[in-house]
Amino acid sequence: MNANATQPAAFRKQAEARLTPAETRVVPGSRGVVDYRRGVHSADSRSGADSRSGPQNLGEPVATRPRLRSDRSPEHAEPSRFLPHVQGLRAIAVLFVVLYHFWPARLPGGYVGVDIFFVISGFLITGHLMRELTATGTVKLGQFWARRARRLLPASLLVLLVCALVAMSPYLTPTSALPNEVQEIVASTFYVQNWFLAFTSADYLNHGGEPTTVQHYWSLSLEEQFYVVWPLLMLLAAWVAVKWIRGNVRRTVLITLGAVSVASFVFCVVFTLTNPAPAYFVTFTRMWQFGVGAMIALVPMLRVRNRWLSFVLGWGGVLVLLFVAFRFDGQTPFPGYMAALPTLGAAAIIAASNTERWWYPTRVLSLRPAQFIGDISYSLYLWHWPLIVIAPSVPFWGLTIYHRVALLGICFVLAWLTKRFVEDPTRSWKVLTSRPAKVTLWTSLAAMLVVALTAGGAWAVNATTYRDGVTTLAQLREDPPDCFGAASVLEPGCETTDFGDSILPAPGFAGVDRPGDEQCFIQLNDSRAQQCDFGSDAPDAPRIALVGDSHAFQLLSTMQRIADAEGWHLTTYFKGACPWNATPLSTPGAFGDACSDWRAGVQESLDAQEFDAVFTAAIATTPYSSAGYGSSYDAAVAGYREAWSTMTDRGIPVVTVVDNPVWETDPNKCLRTRDATECNGARADVLVDNDPLRGAADGQDLVTLLDFTDVYCDDEVCAPVVGGANIYRDQDHLTVTFADSLAPQITGALREAMTR
């Protein structure tokens, strides 16, 4: 598509009048002559939009030079030069993301690396488009999009193709994850992954659910959408400037993009407060970050040349980025207003332009190691996450620090190979560059269809296995074997039962063995005290409440079965990472406030109803504020007792349970390739011995404590499989199948509590 055809003649004539054929200028600080009419520049723009390199005969009069091909746009029609420190900033961005994914506890805010990329893209692409718009009065959209496709799609589709092939293997991809894996590969192929994740309420920062190998493509999808929308906005602004207000094109573009950015920022702040999970992925919540980079490209005054101001601005930006990388975490309300810190930090580094001294950030970020990482940053981003997801399922591959470091090295090698043999060659592939833009675009579409069909093939190969797994799981829940699961330890006469190598549900299918009724589970910054009711509706039915975080929610299906069998009425209240406790979380900001608000709403609802017993559970590692207490543990114990007293003071008994072990990674990844005994975890590593629930229940009237620690663990190790039952569906949540095997003990405890 050639946007030139859509522009009024007056617009084109105005551009031509500004730029006479002989107009050239030597730009201070540049390495050659810039020809505004021809768009020739001597700099190698590795960090910017695609540029052509090689001798340019810059001293030759314009009239004697051959015409540019009509299907190519003068992408450097204004001063532009390679900015090494921007390439170094790419290195910071990709290292933040990669190290965050490898060691999230060490760099909890490393996810801001993608925000840095957004600012860089806004700066480079806006400058590129503005140069072309100034020189020709238009932007050749077809050529622009074709260059983007040649730059980005080959490496991207290669990694997606590998992920699709991996999805075919039940050894590397759990069968239970196959539907999501295939859907997300297809969504990533057509660059709508961010919207898919937004609509499915994925929780990126808190690692909710089981992430696929392509979850990180959400940011690439968002950038591609930016590449589509941004030039259209600039063209619209330029058309309005010429057609309606007879104004300066640059100023009108600046005002338009500024207005869009302000509106996007306001929307980002509001939407993050109201719907934080989708807000992380939605395109318009991120557009302002591209806009910040665009402002630096459009306003020359923002590119600081003063040496001391440049020094302070550059290093100040670096310090801001380091601060957020180490201080932000999964509970930070993000993007929201907090995203302004990494965004402005990245913008400050870009704006710092003075390179006079070796200790200036512009020079330090220009060192060869930073340039190398910046060069391979795109491929490194593409490869690192699939390898992290796949590696634990590879036979004989462990999770030690040595394995992680080795895997990190493999990521760098793959990134360099992809850059050297895929990215660079295809960008200048004459089969495409010597033909009209539509050839590149149609070729790209064909390649995308090949990847999508391969992903569909992964589903076709494993569809029968998936359907069989669903059937087997349903049968297992309805009719479990004798002495199955916890019964093998807790039931008399079951001690000698041997299930051999049997593991149910199968390690490749445990991920779907979870409670339904997800609408009852409140997440993130949502503070609604959502009440759900199950079981008997008889007026005289005993009333049971189930309250807590995701470790209470994991018992929902089991409690529903108990309520149906016993003729009880079950009322539930759940919120992720927010136990029923009166002590505030140590997590600051919107998430901690939402937890406090949810608790207040739940307490109000509990106070307004009559219950015969309340059951509660919580993860033992929840961080509590220790203000006013000797430790976070003491604060948690006191908070549980205060919350429970609102029931026990009314004569309503409380039943609780010591938390189950929490693993570093999903044990099923080990179980798919190794013997179950090889997948045991050291008790000291996976079990919290001083669970505050145990301390809170000690010596309390009308409080019953269930402790299944001896089911999960012996004196030294904890097992992922007990009595033939697969205990975990992920790193810390029980399968419904195993939770059901605890039903007799839970039922007995509730019966006894209600008879006190």
Residues 284 and 348 in one domain: yes
Per-residue pLDDT tens for 211-241? 899 999 999 999 999 999 999 999 999 999 8
Domain-located, residue 71: no
Domain-located, residue 20: no
Residues 355 and 261 in one domain: yes
Residues 386 and 438 in one domain: yes
Q: Are 38 and 72 in contact (CB under 8 A)?
A: no
* Number of neighbours of residue 369 by Cβ within 10 angstroms: 9
Domain-located, residue 368: yes
Task: Decide which of 53 and 671 is more confident.
Answer: 671
d(CA 373, CA 537): 63
Domain-located, residue 19: no
Task: For residue 684, give every residue at least 6 positions away whose Cβ sits within 8 Å of its Cβ, in sequence order, or none.
Answer: none
d(CA 32, CA 51): 15
CA angle 657, 497, 171 (to 5 degrees): 80
Domain-located, residue 404: yes
d(CA 126, CA 261): 13
| pLDDT grade for 208, boundaries at 50, 70 and 90 | low
- Judge whether residue 50 has pLDDT over 80: no
Residues 339 and 397 in one domain: yes
Q: What is the pLDDT of residue 29?
A: 32
Q: Are 550 and 511 in contact (CB under 8 A)?
A: no
Structure tokens at 632: 């976070």
E strand or H helix that includes residue 546: strand 543-548
| pLDDT grade for 21, boundaries at 50, 70 and 90 | very low
Q: What is the pLDDT of residue 753?
A: 96
| Range with the poorest average pLDDT among 36-45, 124-133, 687-696 | 36-45
- Domain range for 406: 84-459
Residues 516 and 432 in one domain: no
Q: What percent of the chain has pLDDT over 70?
A: 88
* Number of neighbours of residue 501 by Cβ within 10 angstroms: 8
**Whole-number average pLDDT of the chain:** 87
Domain-located, residue 494: yes
Residues 496 and 440 in one domain: no
Q: Are 654 and 663 in contact (CB under 8 A)?
A: no
pTM above 0.95, yes or no: no
E strand or H helix that includes residue 685: helix 683-686
The mean pLDDT of 397-415, rounded to a whole number, is 91
Domain-located, residue 56: no
Q: How many domains does the chain have?
A: 2
Residues 501 and 547 in one domain: yes
Domain-located, residue 39: no
Per-residue pLDDT tens for 568-617? 999 999 999 999 999 999 876 677 888 999 999 999 999 999 999 999 99
Residues 384 and 500 in one domain: no
> Of 59-63, 328-332, 402-406, which one has max mean pLDDT?
402-406
E strand or H helix that includes residue 748: helix 743-754
